[in-house]
Structure 1
Amino acid sequence: SKKGKTRSVYVCQNCGNTKGQWWGYCKDCGETGTLKLFSAGSVEKNVSGKNVIRSWFPNEISENKPVRIRDVCNRMDAVNWRIHLPGTFGDEVQRVLGGGLVPGSLVLVGGEPGVGKSTLLLQVAALLSEEVSTGDPAKVLYVSGEESIEQIANRADRLQIVTEELFLYSSTDIEEILQQAQVLSPKAIIVDSIQTVYLKGVSGVVGSTTQVKECATALLRFAKKSCIPVFLVGHVTKSGDIAGPQVLEHIVDVVLYMEGEKSSSHRLLRAIKNRYGSTDELGVFEMLQSGLQGVSNPSEMFLSEHHSTESHYLAGRAVAVVMDGSRAFLIEIQALCIVGTSGGRHVNGVSSSRADMIISVIMKQAGLKLQENRIFINVVSGFSLSETGGDLAVAAAVCSSFLESPIPKGVAFIAEIGLGGELRMVPQLERRVNTLSKLGYEKCVIPKSAAVKLQSQGMEIVGCKDLKEMIAAIF
């Protein structure tokens, strides 16, 4: 009988398609050397992930009918629909999620090894289990395929997590995980990580393209049917992309990426994809011994210590205000001009072409003779200045160093510089100015065209038409 006969198939490690025989390349994606031999087991068992998990969701086709969008909106409580996360840490996470955690959503969190992905989700799990606004116990299931439950508990103890409704489970079998989730009926599920789990009956080793895709699809179907949000941890490749097929990012609802320098204690959480909110938002955290802590004033990361306004060490420093999503950041830009050396420019954190343009405009339109100077430009804390709102601060820092005249404490610069030396408007100028006012800054230099309309309480607004007026007003 052929019923229990095993057969071998060749699976493309790039696109996941299967072949009955070996070829030198994959005919579907065109990649060479990606076909690997796998034993597909019983012919009867070699089924798709959809069939494997069919038993978890009864087929109630008769009850599943199209519904008017108005009826759906009427029965939803838009205010309390999302699951809110309390505290400073929770505020940072739900800002990136778009205002809270959506029931039934599938969230993928990626990042470099050791950046804090597991710590982030363990703290999120603790917050969700402690949030009992509904009056019912908020059970949360944390599943790990990489650590034992004792190791997770030890990390939770270090993070001072004492909630009684956080359940730990160590398994790599998706069917077992979903079985336990059905019994427990948790408020949320965390799976760490998607590259360590597998589905029985699906060809491919753990972490292969086919397994990752089918496991993610199984968890997606479970999340949508049960309205239980599911978090997935995703490993990254050497290039920084999330490991696995590109379709993984299409399957999930939200893709978050956690980043941070090894030399810095600060971590940034960005949304690469978000079906329920903006992808422009940014969450800022500080990694402490007790875990991640939300940073309410991120500008402290990018500003160095100012000792006194009389110190000559302040020459060559200027403060810019940049936007990342809806948040305004204050960053410090430093410049150093060395006279009598061969001309050369070294920039860090600013586009080289942008820095060359700003320096050329200073020489041509403001009349400063920078030709015989070696110029260094640096953005504090490794921040990369990608928008034009920091142009004026770069120019002010260069002028300050060249003129050996410190910029007074409490002064910030917001403007784009044109080739004619004119100062131009930048987006969300009012929000940037309001941020400066809240942080106690005394003076802000902006384009003259905007100064007429803009007024800020407790702070002097200096409107300048071009670079010459800025130099005359500040130095």
Structure 2
Amino acid sequence: MKTKIVYVCSSCGYVSPKWAGRCTRCGEWNTFEEQEEVKGQKGQAYTRAVTKTSTKQSVSRLSEVEIKGDERLFTGIAEFDRVMGGGIVRDSVTIITSPPGGGKSTLSLMVASQLAKSGKRVLYASGEESDSQIKSRADRILEKVEDNIWILADTSMDRVLEAIAEIDADLIILDSIQTFALAEFYPSRAGNPTQTMECASALVQSAKNKVRPRAVFMIGQMNKNDEIAGLRALEHLVDTVLVLEGDGAEELRSLIATKNRFGSTGEMGFFAMTEKGLASIDNPSEYFVTKREKGDGVSGSAITVLREGSRPVIAEIESLVSNSFMAYPLRISENMKKDTLNTLLSVLEQRGGIKLYDKNVVVKTTGGLYLKEQAANLAVLMSIVSGVRDFPLPSDWAFIADVGLTGELKKIPAMEGRIRELDRMGFKKVFVAFEGARKVKLDNLEVIECKNLIQLMGKIFPSRKK
């Protein structure tokens, strides 16, 4: 006998190969019931109710639940462990996504290698690549291919579940979740929302087993809207959602936790894509600033401090101002919104007295860091003024403030941490909004408060006759 799952309308008896909210024959809503279709040797078919085994979970008092001290698996990849909240929780399910070529498979293989080094057993299942393709990448990016990594090149989730038990895996990596299917839900193909959710649910059950907890790391494909392909419910099902951002042609990659039940949502880590895989950028404040000797300042450069996740990161903003011979001068920026740049230029012209109607203005950041915070606005304007006046700003000065339409400097949050980061890195002066910095004990840094653009520019740039 052959059996398969079908859906039968309880109102009219119509049989459908897949579930639907409304019966196409009688028009009734929510009447489909899951049943088994059984075919005998002579081709006769009949349906019967699906028999499901009840799996009862024991009830526990919350106060009596024990938490083991080794609940996290540490990979040794500093930026990854930071974003995860201090390592991978032993019974957690994580999904990582990025645009094609973003490095999600590379990062997953690096995580597998690091955990295998510490004695953990890792199953790497791929529905997209053959075992030889995975081995080729491993040889390229890993110093050594560890014996504790098992490879399964198959799209059958049933085979994956068998392999998990077969090798008793501590970590399961699925590349990618949209390529796997459970036989129970045929004829729905891999990538179908039903298959994707059921495959993910099966992995969640495996991870949350009280007797044998396991960590699951799923790779998710990204659609053209830069979102995880499939149902949004997939993100609710898992514990952690990681997004690996970065242009395939650029070196910089940003790993962001858009959801994390065991850490800080919004935490960010930085990597550099190299021939040997992703290299962790452990000190971003050095990576995003051009190293210059004292006295080697250049015009058009200004320093600020951004808040990426929970930590402050020093960033350099560069501006190029040139004469325009067109009716509409160019306003170009790859690292901030064009509307924001145009607004700041209008404020600078009207409130700062810097004429830019016949000037092209190009703004970018060192390292390709995107300017999402208003805290960088003052540094953007100072880099432009520095370029217009051809006056280099000292490389150990920084600017942290928003700039209002009135030309006044505005306070921004988390100022204490930003100031301490500048002091740690040996900066000498920082210009902030009036009353924008609390009294913090500093070793080298001088905090200078200003009320508006005119007052600030008067302290920095030499006066010129109009």
TM norm structure 2: 0.84
Give distance in 2, aligned partners of 1:224 and 1:110.
22
Q: Are the structure 2 counterparts of residues 185 and 438 from structure 1 closer, same or farther at C-alpha, using a change threshold of 3 Å?
A: same
- Counting only pairs closer than 5 Å after superposition, residues 10-29 of structure 1 correspond to structure 2 as 11=18, 17=20, 21=24
Give distance in 1, aligned partners of 2:112 and 2:2.
48
Shift of residue 426 of structure 1?
Answer: 1.1
Give distance in 2, aligned partners of 1:338 and 1:183.
66
The one-character-per-residue Cα deviations of 1:250-298 (angstroms, maximum 9, x if unpaired) are: 2212111112112222221111222222221111112222222211122
Give distance in 2, aligned partners of 1:352 and 1:415.
19
- Residue of structure 2 in register with 1:320 after alignment: 304
- Residue of structure 1 in register with 2:74 after alignment: 84
- Residue of structure 2 in register with 1:160 after alignment: 143
- Residue of structure 1 in register with 2:12 after alignment: none
Asked if 1:185 is matched to 2:168, the reply is yes
Q: Are the structure 2 counterparts of residues 421 and 236 from structure 1 closer, same or farther at C-alpha, using a change threshold of 3 Å?
A: same
Give distance in 2, aligned partners of 1:161 and 1:123.
11
Q: Would you say the 8 A contact 1:10–1:18 is kept in 2?
A: no
Give distance in 2, aligned partners of 1:5 and 1:184.
30
- Residue of structure 2 in register with 1:215 after alignment: 199
Give distance in 1, aligned partners of 2:318 and 2:3.
74
Asked if 1:402 is matched to 2:388, the reply is yes
Q: Would you say the 8 A contact 2:4–2:184 is kept in 1?
A: no
SS at the partner of 1:401?
helix
Q: Would you say the 8 A contact 1:335–1:377 is kept in 2?
A: yes
Asked if 1:347 is matched to 2:332, the reply is yes
Q: Would you say the 8 A contact 1:9–1:19 is kept in 2?
A: no
- Residue of structure 2 in register with 1:335 after alignment: 319
Q: Would you say the 8 A contact 2:317–2:365 is kept in 1?
A: yes
Give distance in 2, aligned partners of 1:343 and 1:456.
46
**Counterpart residue identity of residue 205, structure 1:** R
Shift of residue 20 of structure 1?
Answer: 6.1
- Counting only pairs closer than 5 Å after superposition, residues 142-157 of structure 1 correspond to structure 2 as 142-157=124-139
- Residue of structure 2 in register with 1:100 after alignment: 87
Asked if 1:417 is matched to 2:403, the reply is yes
Give distance in 2, aligned partners of 1:291 and 1:184.
27
Question: What RMSD in Å do the two structures reach over aligned CA positions?
Answer: 3.2
**Counterpart residue identity of residue 320, structure 2:** L
Q: Would you say the 8 A contact 1:10–1:20 is kept in 2?
A: no
Equivalent position to 1:71, from 64, 72, 97: 64
Q: Would you say the 8 A contact 1:10–1:19 is kept in 2?
A: no
Which has the higher mean CA deviation after the structures are superposed, 341-350 or 236-245?
341-350
SS at the partner of 1:143?
strand
**Counterpart residue identity of residue 105, structure 1:** S
SS at the partner of 2:100?
coil
SS at the partner of 1:444?
strand
Give distance in 2, aligned partners of 1:328 and 1:98.
17
Equivalent position to 1:360, from 346, 351, 362: 346
Give distance in 1, aligned partners of 2:91 and 2:365.
41
Q: Are the structure 2 counterparts of residues 247 and 4 from structure 1 closer, same or farther at C-alpha, using a change threshold of 3 Å?
A: closer
SS at the partner of 1:449?
coil
- Counting only pairs closer than 5 Å after superposition, residues 370-385 of structure 1 correspond to structure 2 as 370-385=356-371
Shift of residue 41 of structure 1?
Answer: 8.4
- Residue of structure 1 in register with 2:423 after alignment: 437
Give distance in 2, aligned partners of 1:393 and 1:400.
10
Give distance in 2, aligned partners of 1:293 and 1:413.
30
TM norm structure 1: 0.82
Q: Are the structure 2 counterparts of residues 345 and 85 from structure 1 closer, same or farther at C-alpha, using a change threshold of 3 Å?
A: same
Q: Are the structure 2 counterparts of residues 460 and 183 from structure 1 closer, same or farther at C-alpha, using a change threshold of 3 Å?
A: same
Give distance in 1, aligned partners of 2:238 and 2:260.
9
Q: Are the structure 2 counterparts of residues 10 and 382 from structure 1 closer, same or farther at C-alpha, using a change threshold of 3 Å?
A: farther
Shift of residue 6 of structure 1?
Answer: 8.6
Answer 1 or 2: which has greater helix percent: 1
Give distance in 2, aligned partners of 1:215 and 1:446.
52
**Counterpart residue identity of residue 448, structure 1:** F
Give distance in 2, aligned partners of 1:451 and 1:6.
66
- Counting only pairs closer than 5 Å after superposition, residues 251-262 of structure 1 correspond to structure 2 as 251-262=237-248
Q: Would you say the 8 A contact 1:9–1:18 is kept in 2?
A: no
Asked if 1:206 is matched to 2:190, the reply is yes
- Counting only pairs closer than 5 Å after superposition, residues 230-245 of structure 1 correspond to structure 2 as 230-245=216-231
Q: Are the structure 2 counterparts of residues 4 and 252 from structure 1 closer, same or farther at C-alpha, using a change threshold of 3 Å?
A: closer
SS at the partner of 2:101?
coil
Q: Would you say the 8 A contact 2:433–2:449 is kept in 1?
A: yes
- Residue of structure 2 in register with 1:175 after alignment: 158
Shift of residue 45 of structure 1?
Answer: 9.5
Q: Are the structure 2 counterparts of residues 200 and 454 from structure 1 closer, same or farther at C-alpha, using a change threshold of 3 Å?
A: same
Aligned residues between the structures? 438
Give distance in 2, aligned partners of 1:451 and 1:322.
15
Q: Would you say the 8 A contact 1:259–1:268 is kept in 2?
A: yes
**Counterpart residue identity of residue 145, structure 1:** G
Identity over aligned residues, as a percent?
32
Alignment gaps of 5+ in structure 1: 29-38, 132-136
